[in-house]
């Protein structure tokens, strides 16, 4: 068994831009855009506030909400870190790059043997379904909130929107697009939505008619402006990465 280098682990926690082969073009930008796109998904801001409203929490439950958010963020950090550590300890060490989803099955074979294909199929379906829930719910919930109507997913209009969003999943098989390319491009595109989401939060949180005495203070506004500035940087990175992907075809 290979000895664990805790010094290397500590050095790996220091943020830095990865050195990537020249053929990958804007690959280092792509890594940053993907990390922001997958971790800071703009839709989570919408879903989070909707779920808090659905739970019936008020200002009296502020402490409970903060604890809930802290636990969620901690779990997200641990899970994301575990995924990156696993990739760094396997793919990176062996110099393996992924261009086809079938390559992931090969990586499971030393551990799972003949069950590698079945395990991968279950895992990829679970990943798709877990991501699909927030995707199909976001549009109906947003429209219901905008019209101040009841969030009833059994309504015909809600079912129609869910069906339309679900059918977008057929883009890859119908267009024969490379699945890995589509996954990378979609996550990079998420980074483009972040500035609009943060700007809306900043605007709404400072409207006195809407927020009253709970309007954002100076510290909150300063933090949101910093996040907005960072989101503009990631947007430029995402655009650069997408342009590089398109140029490489």
Looking at the structure of the chain, the number of domains it has is 2
Give domain status of residue 171, yes or no. yes
Q: Are residues 204 and 166 in the same domain?
A: no
Cα dihedral: 68, 73, 79, 81 (round 10): -160
| CB within 8 Å of 175: residues ≥ 6 apart | none
Out of 175, 194, 219, pick the residue that ends a domain.
175
Q: What is the DSSP letter of 91?
A: I
Whole-angstrom distance, CA of residue 36 vs CA of residue 231: 9
Residue among 154, 162, 171, 97 at smallest CA distance from 136: 162
Out of 175, 192, 207, pick the residue that ends a domain.
175
Per-residue pLDDT of the chain (249 residues; tens, 9 = 90+): 455 567 766 777 777 666 655 444 455 666 666 676 666 777 777 778 878 887 888 888 888 888 988 998 898 888 877 877 777 777 766 666 666 666 677 777 777 777 777 887 787 778 777 777 777 888 888 888 778 777 777 888 888 888 888 887 777 777 777 766 676 667 666 667 788 888 988 998 899 888 888 889 889 999 999 988 888 877 777 677 667 666 665
CB atoms within 10 A of CB 116: 17
Q: Are residues 117 and 170 in the same domain?
A: yes
Instruction: Give the 3-state secondary structure of residue 101.
Output: coil
Q: Are residues 166 and 187 in the same domain?
A: no
Q: Are residues 215 and 244 in the same domain?
A: yes
Give domain status of residue 86, yes or no. no
Give domain status of residue 163, yes or no. yes
pTM (predicted TM-score): 0.65
Q: What is the pLDDT of residue 72?
A: 86
Q: What is the pLDDT of residue 222?
A: 94
Whole-angstrom distance, CA of residue 165 vs CA of residue 50: 19
Q: Are residues 228 and 242 in the same domain?
A: yes
Q: Are residues 171 and 100 in the same domain?
A: yes
Q: What is the DSSP letter of 170?
A: G
Maximum distance among all alpha carbons in the chain? 63
Q: Are residues 149 and 131 in the same domain?
A: yes
Query: Which two tokens mark 247?
Result: 């140029």
H/E element holding 93?
helix 93-94
Give domain status of residue 238, yes or no. yes
Q: Are residues 183 and 249 in the same domain?
A: yes
Whole-angstrom distance, CA of residue 187 vs CA of residue 41: 9
Give domain status of residue 50, yes or no. no
Out of 175, 200, 224, pick the residue that ends a domain.
175
Give domain status of residue 79, yes or no. no
Residue among 68, 21, 41, 62 at smallest CA distance from 135: 41
Give domain status of residue 151, yes or no. yes
Q: Are residues 169 and 220 in the same domain?
A: no
Q: What is the pLDDT of residue 1?
A: 45
Q: Are residues 105 and 137 in the same domain?
A: yes
Q: What residue numbers bound the domain in which 162 lies?
A: 96-175
Give domain status of residue 122, yes or no. yes
Whole-angstrom distance, CA of residue 149 vs CA of residue 27: 45
| CB within 8 Å of 35: residues ≥ 6 apart | none
Give the total residue count for the chain: 249
Q: Are residues 165 and 194 in the same domain?
A: no
């Amino acid at each position: 068994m290979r000895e664990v280098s805790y010094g290397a682990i500590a050095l790996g926690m220091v943020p830095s831009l990865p050195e990537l082969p020249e053929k990958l073009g804007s690959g280092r930008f792509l890594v940053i855009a993907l990390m922001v796109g997958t971790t800071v998904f703009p839709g989570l801001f919408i879903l989070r506030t909707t779920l808090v409203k659905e739970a019936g929490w008020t200002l009296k439950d502020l402490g409970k909400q903060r604890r809930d958010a802290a636990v969620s963020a901690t779990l997200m950090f641990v899970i994301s870190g575990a995924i990156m550590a696993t990739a760094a300890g396997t793919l990176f060490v062996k110099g393996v790059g992924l261009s086809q989803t079938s390559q992931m099955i090969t990586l499971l074979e030393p551990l799972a043997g003949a069950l590698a294909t079945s395990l991968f199929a279950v895992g990829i379906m679970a990943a798709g379904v877990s991501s699909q829930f927030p995707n199909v719910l976001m549009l109906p919930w947003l429209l219901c909130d905008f019209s101040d109507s009841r969030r009833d997913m059994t309504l015909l209009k809600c079912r129609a929107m869910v069906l339309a969003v679900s059918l977008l999943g057929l883009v890859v098989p119908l267009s024969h697009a490379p699945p890995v390319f589509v996954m990378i491009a979609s996550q990079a595109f998420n980074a483009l939505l972040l500035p609009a989401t943060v700007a809306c939060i900043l605007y709404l949180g400072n409207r006195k008619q809407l927020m009253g005495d709970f309007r954002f203070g100076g510290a909150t506004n300063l933090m949101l402006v910093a996040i907005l500035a960072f989101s503009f940087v990631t947007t430029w990175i995402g655009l650069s990465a997408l342009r590089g992907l398109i140029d490489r075809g």
